[in-house]
């Protein structure tokens, strides 16, 4: 049975040095919550965030992979953001995705399930899923009750994790929240996702590879808004529920890149000079779109406007969009 989420004072955040994890960690720390950060510090971790968070007295850090984690402190929430998330890498080799996104989630669930008897309240498992678990949709928007139809190894691993959580909840009585966000972007993102990799390739004078001629449509959500959704759900949500979260702005990838080019050079440029449109990705989803009325009914709404972030940054070369 679901219930009202109580106020929290101590949270475990996995993947705290990644894009979304760092934004969630920062907001929790600024609220005065105690944060126990966990990150295995892979290539995508931004170590500058560790220096920043280390200045907070309410932050503790542990370097560990969630699949190998042996200990959870007494806490109110385990916010699991750690994941392998690059679709292209999962198509080449899904091994790390299975280990992190499935085995890692099982380990966290078992750590919660096996909390000592003297711990009266198990933490709530707050899990980050993805819009990709639904598969693509040509018209309309996915709602939380839609059937999952993952199209690639990455999204399949995330869908499998969602199923584990539902099973552990029914079998062992673990309470959970699952958040399914659309494409995130923001400052400090590792340059393998569309927006930061576009900037990186422009800096290096190389062509930008766009899958399927840049036709796929994505819905963009700033990591700050994702983090505020987490806080909203912790303060006002109902556990044992799934919530979508979207930025409310969608466009074709080729249009996104064109806007970055305009900002980068300060004027319109012919796209064919900068793009490589020959690549076709296996299992490519054409369009993601989520209905997040359930979350918005709690008072949440995005504050970061995609176009403003891209076009109104202080640096002409767009380096504010890329991990340095």
- Per residue in 165-178, pLDDT (tens digit) is 999 999 999 999 99
Q: For residue 100, what pLDDT is reported? A: 97
**Domains located in the chain, CATH noted:** 10-190+221-248+289-303 (3.40.50.720)
Buried b (16+ CB within 10 A) or exposed e, 221-236: bbbbbbbbbbbbbbee
Mean pLDDT value of segment 48-60: 97
Instruction: Using the predicted structure, report yes or no on whether residue 111 has a pLDDT greater than 90.
Output: yes
Q: For residue 154, what pLDDT is reported? A: 97
Under the banding of pLDDT at 50, 70 and 90, the label for residue 277 is very high
Instruction: Using the predicted structure, report yes or no on whether residue 266 has a pLDDT greater than 90.
Output: no
Catalytic residue among 39, 76, 84, 132: 132
Q: For residue 313, what pLDDT is reported? A: 58
Residue at token pair 């707050």: 126
Catalytic residue among 36, 77, 154, 176: 154
Higher model confidence: residue 316 or residue 226? 226
Over pLDDT 70: what percentage of the chain? 91
Q: For residue 267, what pLDDT is reported? A: 86
* Beta strand segments in 108-172, E: 124-128
Q: For residue 306, what pLDDT is reported? A: 74
Q: For residue 1, what pLDDT is reported? A: 39
Q: For residue 252, what pLDDT is reported? A: 96
DSSP assignment string, 246-303: --S-EEEHHHHHHHHHHHHHSS---GGGTEE-----TT---B--B--HHHHTTT----
Over the stretch 178-189, which tens digit does the pLDDT of each residue have? 999 999 999 888
Instruction: Using the predicted structure, report yes or no on whether residue 120 has a pLDDT greater than 70.
Output: no
Lowest mean pLDDT among 45-49, 188-192, 297-301: 188-192
Under the banding of pLDDT at 50, 70 and 90, the label for residue 119 is low
As a whole number, the mean pLDDT across the chain is 91
Q: What are phi and psi of 56, to 5 degrees?
A: -90, 135
Q: For residue 128, what pLDDT is reported? A: 98
DSSP assignment string, 25-68: HHHHHHTT-EEEEEE---TT--HHHHHHHTT-TTEEEEE--TTT
Over the stretch 281-299, which tens digit does the pLDDT of each residue have? 888 899 999 999 999 999 9
Q: What are phi and psi of 307, to 5 degrees?
A: -60, -40
* Chain-centre distance for alpha carbon 1: 27
Instruction: Using the predicted structure, report yes or no on whether residue 243 has a pLDDT greater than 90.
Output: yes
Q: For residue 307, what pLDDT is reported? A: 64
Higher model confidence: residue 120 or residue 255? 255
Q: For residue 304, what pLDDT is reported? A: 86
Q: For residue 324, what pLDDT is reported? A: 46
Catalytic residue among 39, 76, 84, 131: 131
154 carries an active-site annotation: yes
Higher model confidence: residue 280 or residue 126? 126
Instruction: Using the predicted structure, report yes or no on whether residue 133 has a pLDDT greater than 80.
Output: yes
């Amino acid at each position: 049975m679901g219930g009202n989420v109580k106020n929290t004072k101590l949270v475990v955040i996995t993947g705290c040095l990644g894009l979304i994890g760092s934004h969630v960690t920062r907001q929790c720390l600024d609220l005065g919550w105690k944060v126990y950060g966990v990150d295995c510090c892979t290539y995508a971790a931004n170590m500058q965030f560790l220096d920043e968070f280390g200045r907070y007295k309410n932050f503790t850090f542990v370097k560990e992979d969630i699949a190998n984690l042996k200990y959870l402190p007494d806490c109110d929430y385990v916010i699991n953001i750690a994941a392998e998330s690059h679709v292209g890498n999962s198509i080449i080799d899904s091994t790390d995705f299975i280990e992190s996104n499935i085995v890692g989630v099982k380990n966290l669930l078992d750590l919660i399930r096996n909390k000592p008897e003297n711990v009266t309240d198990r933490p709530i498992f707050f899990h980050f899923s993805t819009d990709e678990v639904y598969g693509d949709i040509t018209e309309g928007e996915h709602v939380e009750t839609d059937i999952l139809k993952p199209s690639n190894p990455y999204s399949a691993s995330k869908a499998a994790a969602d199923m584990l959580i539902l099973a552990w909840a029914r079998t062992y009585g673990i309470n959970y929240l699952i958040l399914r966000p659309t494409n995130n972007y923001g400052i400090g993102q590792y340059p393998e996702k569309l927006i930061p990799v576009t900037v990186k390739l422009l800096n290096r004078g190389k062509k930008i590879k766009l899958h399927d001629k840049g036709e796929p449509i994505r819905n963009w959500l700033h990591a700050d808004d994702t983090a505020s959704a987490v806080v909203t759900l912790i303060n006002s949500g109902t556990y044992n529920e799934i919530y979508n979260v979207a930025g409310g702005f969608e466009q074709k990838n080729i249009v996104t890149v064109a806007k970055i080019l305009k900002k980068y050079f300060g004027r319109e440029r012919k796209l064919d000079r900068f793009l490589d449109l020959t690549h076709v990705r296996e299992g490519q989803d054409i369009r993601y779109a989520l209905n997040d009325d359930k979350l918005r009914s709690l008072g949440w709404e995005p504050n970061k406007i995609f176009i403003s972030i891209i076009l109104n940054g202080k640096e002409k070369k767009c380096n504010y969009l890329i991990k340095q």
